[in-house]
Structure 1
Amino acid sequence: MILAALFTSVGINLGLCVLFFVLYSILRNQPENAEVYAPRVVAEGKERRTTAFDLERLLPSTGWAKAAWNLSEDDLLSIAGLDAVIFMRIFVFSLKVFSFAGVIGVFILLPINYEGDQLHSIDLANLPNESLDKFTISNVKDGSNWLWVHFSAAYVMTAVVCYLLYLEYDYVCSKRMLYFYASKPQPHHFTVLVRGIPRSREGSYSESVEKFFSDIHASSYLTHIMVRQTSKLRRLIVDAESMYKKLTRLKSLRNERQRFSSGGFLRLFSQNDTSVEKCEKQLETLEENLRIQRSGASSVGQEVPAAFVFFRSRFSAATAIRIQQSLNPIEWVTEQAPEPRDVYWPFFSSSFTKRWISKLIVILASVVLTILFLIPVAFVQGLANLDRLEILFPFLKSVLTLTFVSQVITGYLPSLILYAFLSMVPPVMKVFSNMQGYISHSESEKSACSKMMLFTVWNAFFAVVLSGSVASQAEVFLDPRHIPERLAVAVPAQATFFITYVVTSGWTNLSYEVTRAKPLVKDFLRRHWWNFLGGELEVPSLPYHREIPSILFFWLLGSTYFFQAPLILPFVIIYFLMGFIVYRNQLLNVYKPKYETAGKYWPMVHNAAIISLVLMQLIAIGIFGLKKLPTASTLTIPLPVLTLLFNEYCRKRFLPNFQNYPAESLIKKDREEQNDPAMPDFLYNLASSYRDPAMKPTRLAAETEPGLSTDLLSLQQRLEID
Structure 2
Amino acid sequence: MEVSDLATSAGINIGLAILFLVLYSVFRKLPGNRGVYNTREMLRESQCKEGKKQEEKQPFALENLVPSAGWVKQAWDLSDDDILQSAGLDALVFLRIFVFGMRLFSICTLVGCGILAPLNFNDTYLKDHPSEKNGSLDKLTILNISQGSSRLWFHLAVLYFISITAYTLLYLEYKNITNKRLAYLMAAVPQPDQFSVLVRSIPKPGNEDESYSKEVEDFFQRFHPLHYLSHQMVFPASKLQSFLKEFNKLKDKVVSLKAKSPEERRPCRVGFLGLYGPLVDPIEFYTSKLEDLNLKIRKEQSAIFNRKKELPTAFVSFKTRWEAVVTAQTQQSQNPMLWVTEWAPEPRDVDWGNLEIPYEHHFFRGIVAAIGAGLITIFYIPLTTLVLALANLDSLYKFLPHMLLEILLKMLVNNSPATWFFFSQFLCVCVFSLTNVLHAICCSPGVKQVIQGYLPALVLAGILYGLPPVFLFLSKLAGYVSISHQERVAAGKFFHLLAGNVFLVGVLGGSLISVINKFSSEPREIPRYLAESMPSKADFFITYILTTGWAGFPLEILQSGVLAFNFMTRMYVDIHRPLLTGVYSLPYYRQLPHVLLFVMVGLTYSIITPLLLPFLLVYFILGYIVFRNQILHVYEPAYETGGQFWPHVHNRIIFCLVFLQVCFIGVFSVKGLGKGSLLVIPLPILTLLFNAHCRRLFYPNFKQFNVETTVKKDQDDEHNGLREDLWASIRNAYLHPTLQPVELDIHENSNNMESLLPSSSKRASKV
Partner residue of 2:176?
A: 171
Q: Are 2:638 and 1:594 equivalent residues in the alignment?
A: yes
Paired residue secondary structure (1:493)? helix
Using the alignment, how far apart are the partners of 1:171 and 1:77 within structure 2? 14
Q: Does 2:677 match 1:670?
A: no
Which whole-Å CA distance do the structure 2 matches of 1:275 and 1:111 have between them? 75
Contact 1:253 1:531 in 2 (8 A): no
1:514 equivalent to 2:570? Answer: no
Is the CA contact 2:583–2:636 (under 8 Å) kept in the aligned structure 1?
yes
The 2-side partners of 1:471 and 1:576 are apart by 35
Shift of 1:469: 3.0
Change (3 A) 1:141 1:316: same
Report the Cα distance in structure 2 between the residues aligned to 1:272 and 1:358, rounded to whole angstroms: 51
**Aligned-residue offset at 1:343:** 0.8
CA offset at residue 455 of structure 1? 1.2
Given that 1:525 and 1:533 are in contact with CA atoms closer than 8 Å, whether structure 2 keeps it comes out as no
Give the Cα separation in 2 of the matches to 1:258 and 1:667: 60
Aligned twin of 1:680: 724
Q: Provide Cα deviations, 1:230-269, integer angstroms capped at 9, x if missing partner.
A: 1111112112323444555667678343699xxxxxx999
User: Which residue does 2:451 correspond to in 1?
Assistant: 409
Contact 2:125-2:144 at 8 Å conserved across structures: yes
Aligned-pair distance for 1:291? 1.5
Contact 1:287 1:701 in 2 (8 A): no
2:548 is matched with: 505
Q: Which moved more, 1:391-400 or 1:662-671?
A: 391-400
Comparing 320-329 with 295-304, greater Cα deviation is found at 295-304
Query: Aligned pair in 2 of structure 1 residues 542, 610: CA closer, same or farther (>3 Å)?
Result: same
Matched, 1:466 2:488: no
- Is the 2:487–2:589 Cα contact (8 Å) retained in structure 1? yes
> How do 1:206-605 residues align onto structure 2 when only pairs under 5 Å count?
206-246=213-253, 255-257=262-264, 273=280, 279-299=286-306, 301-352=308-359, 355-390=362-397, 391=400, 393-396=434-437, 397-475=439-517, 478=520, 480-531=523-574, 535=578, 537-605=581-649
Counterpart residue number, 1:629: 673
**Once the 2 structures are TM-superposed, how far is the Cα of residue 200 of structure 1 from its aligned partner?**
2.2
Superposed CA RMSD in Å reads 2.5
Task: State whether residues 394 and 442 of structure 2, in contact with CA within 8 Å, keep that contact through their aligned partners in structure 1.
Answer: no
**Aligned mates of 1:179, 1:519 — CA distance in 2:** 33
- Name the residue aligned to 1:184: 189
Task: Give the direction of change, closer, same or farther, for the CA distance of 1:407–1:650 in structure 2 (3 Å limit).
Answer: same
Mean alpha-carbon deviation: is it higher for 563-572 or for 374-383? Answer: 374-383
Gaps of 5+ in 2: 268-273, 402-433, 747-767
Please say if residues 260 and 576 of structure 2, whose CA atoms lie closer than 8 Å, have aligned partners that are also in contact.
Answer: no
CA distance in 2: counterparts of 1:217 and 1:566, whole angstroms: 61
- d(CA) in 2 for partners of 1:383, 1:534: 46
Shift of 1:519: 0.5
* Counterpart-to-counterpart distance in 2, 1:480 and 1:268: 69
Q: Which amino acid aligns with 1:32?
A: G
Aligned twin of 2:24: 24
CA distance in 2, matches of 1:665, 1:480: 50
SS, match of residue 557 in structure 1? helix
Preserved contact between residue 265 and residue 282 of structure 2 (Cα < 8 Å): no
Q: Tell me which residue corresponds to 2:154.
A: 149
What amino acid maps onto 2:232 in structure 1? I
Segment drifting more, 346-355 vs 12-21: 346-355
Aligned with 2:312: secondary structure?
Answer: strand
Letter in 2 for 1:36: V
CA–CA separation in structure 2 for the residues paired with 1:256 and 1:404: 58
Distance 1:34-1:534 versus aligned 2 partners, 3 A rule: closer
How far is the alpha carbon of 1:382 from its aligned partner?
2.1
Q: Is the 8 A contact 1:94 1:576 kept in 2?
A: yes
Deviation, structure 1 residue 384: 1.1
Match of 2:45 in 1: 45
Structure 2 letter corresponding to 1:406 = K
After superposition, the Cα gap between the structure-2 partners of 1:356 and 1:605, relative to the gap in structure 1 and judged at 3 Å, is: closer
Contact 1:250 1:531 (8 Å CA) reproduced: no
- Which deviates more, 352-361 or 309-318? 352-361
Separation of aligned partners in 2, 1:191 and 1:259: 51
Q: TM-score, normalised by structure 2?
A: 0.86
C-alpha deviation, 1:320, in angstroms: 0.8
Give the CA deviation at 1:409.
Answer: 1.0
- What SS does the corresponding residue of 1:335 show, helix, strand or coil? strand
Identity %: 40
Counterpart residue type for residue 17 of structure 2: C
* Alpha-carbon offset, residue 306 of structure 1: 0.8
User: In the superposition, relative to structure 1, how do residues 325 and 477 fare at CA in structure 2: closer, same or farther (>3 Å)?
Assistant: farther
Residue identity opposite 1:116 in structure 2:
D
The reply on whether 1:136 has 2:177 as its aligned counterpart is no
- Output the amino acid matched with 1:17: A
Which piece of structure 1 moves more, 293-302 or 651-660?
A: 293-302
Secondary structure, counterpart of 1:224 in structure 2: strand
Secondary structure at the aligned position of 2:718 is classed as: coil
Partner residue, 2:13: 13
Shift of 1:229: 1.1
Q: TM-score scaled to structure 1, two decimals?
A: 0.91
Amino acid paired to 1:219: L
1:717 maps to which residue? none
Cα offsets for 1:270-310 (capped at 9, x unmatched) = 96527766655544443222112111222353101011111
Amino acid at match of 2:68: S
Aligned equivalents of 1:353, 1:333: Cα separation in 2? 11
Q: Contact 2:266–2:282 at 8 Å: present in 1 too?
A: no
How many Å separate the matches in 2 of 1:210 and 1:131? 75
Deviation of the 1:363 alpha carbon = 2.6
CA deviation after TM superposition for structure 1 residue 531, in Å:
4.0
Query: What letter matches 1:430 in structure 2?
Result: L
1:70 to 77, 80, 84: 77
Secondary structure, counterpart of 1:334 in structure 2: strand
User: 1:481 is aligned with what amino acid?
Assistant: R
Deviates more, 1:241-250 or 1:650-659: 241-250
5+ residue gaps, structure 1, are 124-128, 261-266, 703-722
* Structure 1 residue 481 displacement after superposition: 2.5
